[in-house]
Amino acid sequence: MIVMQDLLFSGVKPTGTLHLGNYIGALKKWTEIQHLYQCYFCIVDLHAITVPQDPAQLRKDTLDIAATYLAVGLDPKRCTLFIQSEVPEHAELAWILGCVAKMGEMERMTQFKDKSQKGGRERSGLGLFSYPALMAADILLYDTTIVPVGDDQTQHIELTRLLAKRFNDKFGSTFTLPEILLQKHGARIMSLTDPAKKMSKSDESKSGVIMLDDEADTIHHKISRAVTDSGSGVVYDLEKKPAVANLMTIYHHMTGKTMKEIETLYAGKGYGDFKTGLAEVVIEHLAPITKKLKEYREHPQELQNILDHGRDAAHHAAREKMKLVRDRVGLGRG
């Protein structure tokens, strides 16, 4: 249950334009609840460098996430929008939490297993391995109570709670244990071309992923080629019709219609009609976001000002928390 004094923290890696999965699973929810709570939305560039990045591109992508935050409707007067690496306490606390975490716990993280698969474990970066300690630091620095994310982050939030509890038990009450906040439908949007795989920035098949700045024609094309299930009815059945359920989930988020209402709307119609309708509602929903994204991209100074302000506010809170953490652990001269 969310209560008034709740504090929200979430973040996105600046590794390219965001897609509809990021939007539905995370950012859309943020915009809906931003006015109710104190919110920190971070651009996690230190997490981005756990895999190789081109420096110039990373800077560009970092600013582009700021533009996206504003384009989807996050209000910088209400929320603290900032870049992770500009608040050095994140890296400092990550080190301390890395000393609290156990190798076995980190080894069980499925994200590390997935991401290290390609190049092999031996050749994977140490940063990729300790990624969850940095994520825990992000969350715990601000006494976060709620973390709105997609369900691929569930294991990381569980580890964050575990590390916070272990630290509190050993050093005295210091950190708040956060709760995850998942979308009821849409915590995991699947690829349009392979409904068994989540929609992902790293998906090699670009046709399965709708980017937030895709042109209308591209969206039409991608949705018209989306995989569907056998049979023909537009019915929400996650077990038997996972592909259609995924498309219906997208429809639900674009329009606010319930699954039942979507079923009624398309009763007696085939997948073709449904996909045409879906493309229309996605285009309509994304059009103002895409337009604003282009505008913000053209006004980098405005983004810089917002990020300066966010950095100062986040730094102030993080500095206070780290004084306590250092004191608890016995670091420095006190």
Candidate residues 83, 147, 226, 317; the one interacting with ligand TYM per rule CB under 6 A: 147
Residue 21 interacting with ligand TYM (CB under 6 A): yes
Strands 79-83 and 7-12: unpaired
The helix or strand, by DSSP H or E, that contains position 106, with its residue range, turns out to be: helix 103-107
Residue 249 interacting with ligand TYM (CB under 6 A): no
Burial readout 306-330 (b: 16 or more C-beta within 10 A, e: otherwise): bbeebbebbeebbeebbeebeebee
Candidate residues 6, 13, 180, 303; the one interacting with ligand TYM per rule CB under 6 A: 13
* Smallest distance from ligand TYM to CB 327, Å: 24
Residue 138 interacting with ligand TYM (CB under 6 A): yes
In the chain, the N- to C-terminal Cα span, in Å, equals 38
Q: Which residue's beta carbon is nearest to the bound ligand TYM?
A: 25
Report residue 292: phi and psi, to 5°: -65, -35
Residue 189 interacting with ligand TYM (CB under 6 A): yes
Candidate residues 8, 9, 68, 185; the one interacting with ligand TYM per rule CB under 6 A: 9
Q: Is 198 a catalytic residue?
A: yes
Candidate residues 7, 8, 25, 314; the one interacting with ligand TYM per rule CB under 6 A: 25
Residue 152 interacting with ligand TYM (CB under 6 A): yes
Helix (H, G, I), strand (E, B), or coil: what is residue 146?
A: strand
Q: Which is nearer to ligand TYM, 250 or 303 (CB)?
A: 250
Q: Which is nearer to ligand TYM, 27 or 262 (CB)?
A: 27
38-43: strand order across its sheet: 79-83, 38-43, 7-12, 146-148, 179-181
Q: How many CB atoms lie within 10 A of CB 121?
A: 12
Q: How many CB atoms lie within 10 A of CB 196?
A: 9
Q: Is 60 a catalytic residue?
A: no
Residues in the chain: 334
Candidate residues 63, 66, 141, 149; the one interacting with ligand TYM per rule CB under 6 A: 149
Measured CA to CA, the distance from residue 299 to residue 224 in angstroms comes to 34
Count residues near ligand TYM (CB under 6 A). 25
Active-site entry in 13, 28, 29, 115:
115
Report which of 3, 120, 126, 14 is spatially closest to residue 67, judged by C-alpha positions: 14
Name the residues that contact ligand TYM, by CB under 6 A: 9-13, 21-22, 24-26, 44, 47, 135, 138-139, 147, 149-150, 152-153, 187-189, 198-199
Q: Which residues are catalytic?
A: 115, 198, 201
